[in-house]
Amino acid sequence: MCGILGFVNFKEDLYTKTYEEILNNMADKIIKRGPDENGCYINNRVLFAHKRLIVVDPDGGKQPMTFKFQDNTYTIVYNGQLYNTNELRNELKELNFSFDGHSDTEVLLKSYIHFGNEVVNKLNGIFAFAIWNEKKQELFFARDHFGIKPFYYTVHDNNFIFASEVKALFKFPGVCPKIDKNGISELFGLGPCHTSGNGIFKDIFELKGAHFGIYNKNGISIKRYWKLTSKTHNDSFGKTCETVKFLLEDSIQRQLVSDVPLCTFLSGGLDSSIITLYASNYCKEHGKEPLNTFSVDYVDNDKNFQKTDFQPNSDNFYIDIMQKKCGTNHKTILLDTPELADALEDAMIARDFPGMADVDSSLLLFCKNVKKEASVSLTGECADEIFGGYPWFFREDALNSNTFPWSIALKERQELLNPNISKEINLKDYIDFRYKESLSEVEILDCDSTETAEKRKISYLTLNWFMQTLLDRSDRMGMYNGFEIRVPFCDYRLAEYVWNIPWELKALNGREKGLLRYIMKDILPSEIVDRKKSPYPKTWNPKYTAKVKEMLNNIMCNKNAPISNLLNRDYILEILETDGKSFTRPWFGQLMTGPQLMAYLCQVNMWLEKYQPKIEL
């Protein structure tokens, strides 16, 4: 995994010391994504920079990579991992291409040379890349099916500028952080979710997942190359189970490729247990060392744990079961309250926006500790979105909310805005617009049962909004530590197939992820298969609530704190008085209740101080 950036200009010669310095300044902002190696490519029309995290082929995967072919020159910067590298390499060899190393970068570049724009339809993996075609004087850029790897861009003063993270764009002269009504609506109406393609800051854009773009003298052209398509599911129950099992096992095995130490995250939940089981079996079958597994916990968490509808039990009992079954080398990373609070700012910087508070900072610290022993991890992320595992697939209050079911506290969100701004911005109208816009994209079949049709809608919303938020979290928190997180459940082939399985099968026996549980019932221990869904663990230590309350209170004691210009000071003081207990139900997702709201507000103030966005209403 890596960090990429660059810019293209057709009206000015870029081969100057000034532009090289700009490139280096931008690259310094994403150095955490690629701490192992630096590279750049400079000519009169395009400049590329690359920060590399070495995972595969240390010598043969150096970037930017240039290849001359039939009187043309092609140069690539690439962030990602292809999981069908061998198939593509073999196909290209039959077409008389030869290879100097075994990196997927070389395979991707030569695939583009042969297949052109259609290359995106040949790829299975996680990727964001840009390729400069010298003869055509054209930049081709693309992002993977679900947008697991980031790609942001802007156009300024005849320059097309792109980067893995927004912070790098702001190091280009004249590109400044600005936020308008849409940005405020995104942050406080939808946040930490955001509309796909929206870079939050004014004039900053995100290339959507499953899209590619071309930039040349005629401007920018963006096209979609893949989407979930609704089709009649004709497979028998047995064939359905067999296909899901094959696709899942194949995805996991493909993602175990690495030239550096690799591990899995193990929470004892169904999803991470499936990944760990297959990964540990793979290690045994191929004569490798026992798999390393890691989990996260918090000081005094067992003592303070509180059972809720969203988090019914803690993890340790189930982790022990899986560790013994798989024979892994397991280690628990124990985090303390001060660490979580102190890392809130780093987590915000990693995202470039206020995010999921300590749900982010805990993952950032978790990855920081695991990085000491591994550089790559497979996780169970995305199974709930693909297979229907979240409570809102079943809860009537969520299903009947007529809004995004993980974020139904609309009145409270509006009240958070500064009264002067609140007069100008109606968050509910904006949320309704985005909600209806998304639902209009869902393809319902005449043969769909009423329940399947309704669950297609909520599945589509979950896949395109909530899952994207978690994928962003995984990428940013991991890459902030030079650590790669892979998500086998997010293989687009698996998602395509499961999308069309009728809800009655997907939720077999009325259970969340019922079909997946059934498929695993003879493979995993019954305690794991029957365990009710439990999300990524958060701290229950009351010291954390006290710590973030103190942080927020210190902010509010300063009447010049920038947060008061954007948010409702009186309402925040009211939240402080109740220790956030006015938000006893999650205000976002499953975990973010009062303490996380206070931490989020701290992140907002940190963000305003760090980025100093100009507010344009």
Residue 517 lies in a domain: yes
pLDDT at residue number 585: 61
Backbone torsion region of residue 393, taken as left when φ is above 0, otherwise alpha when ψ lies between -120 and 50, otherwise beta = alpha
Residue 13 lies in a domain: yes
**471 in the same domain as 325:** yes
Q: State yes or no: is 2 an active-site residue.
A: yes
List, for residues 461-504, the tens digit of each pLDDT value. Answer: 999 999 999 999 999 999 999 999 999 999 999 999 999 999 99
**443 in the same domain as 337:** yes
Residue 536 lies in a domain: no
pLDDT at residue number 337: 85
**356 in the same domain as 243:** yes
CA 57 distance to own-chain centroid:
25
List, for residues 111-130, the tens digit of each pLDDT value. Answer: 999 999 999 999 999 999 99
**253 in the same domain as 149:** no
CATH number of residue 242's parent domain = 3.40.50.620
Residue 552 lies in a domain: no
CATH number of residue 76's parent domain = 3.60.20.10
Residue 330 lies in a domain: yes
Residues comprising the chain, all counted = 617
**275 in the same domain as 213:** no
**251 in the same domain as 398:** yes
Candidate list 2, 283, 326, 367, residue with the active-site label: 2
* Count of the separate structural domains present in the chain: 2
**252 in the same domain as 211:** no
**162 in the same domain as 66:** yes
**218 in the same domain as 153:** yes
Tokens (6 digits) for 512 = 């969340």
| Dihedral angle computed from the Cα positions of residues 560, 562, 565 and 568, in that order, rounded to the nearest 10 degrees | -90
The DSSP element (H or E) to which 88 belongs, if any, is helix 85-94
Distance in angstroms (rounded) separating the CA atoms of residues 252 and 245: 11
Q: Look at residues 530, 565, 594 and tell me which one is the last residue of a structural domain.
A: 530
**519 in the same domain as 418:** yes
CA 390 distance to own-chain centroid:
18
pLDDT at residue number 430: 97
**158 in the same domain as 9:** yes
In sequence order, what are the residues at sequence separation of 6 or more whose Cβ sits closer than 8 angstroms to the Cβ of residue 558? none
Helix-, strand-, coil-residue percentages of the chain, each rounded to 5: 45, 20, 35
pLDDT at residue number 55: 86
Residue 323 lies in a domain: yes
Residue 232 lies in a domain: no
Residue 425 lies in a domain: yes
**396 in the same domain as 363:** yes
3-class state of residue 495 by DSSP: helix
pLDDT at residue number 590: 67
Q: Classify burial at 91, counting beta carbons within 10 Å of its beta carbon; exposed 0-12, middle 13-18, buried 19 or more.
A: middle
From residue 238, alpha-carbon distances to 221, 348, 515 in Å are 44, 46, 11
pLDDT at residue number 420: 94
105, 89 in Cβ contact below 8 A?
Answer: no
For residue 77, the cross-strand partners are 130
Containing structural domain, residue 75: 2-179+195-224
For CA atoms 312, 315, 321, 325, give the dihedral sign.
positive
88, 112 in Cβ contact below 8 A?
Answer: no
The DSSP element (H or E) to which 156 belongs, if any, is strand 152-156
For the chain, which ranges sit under pLDDT 50? 310
Give the pairing of strands 2-9 and 46-52: antiparallel
Distance in angstroms (rounded) separating the CA atoms of residues 91 and 97: 9
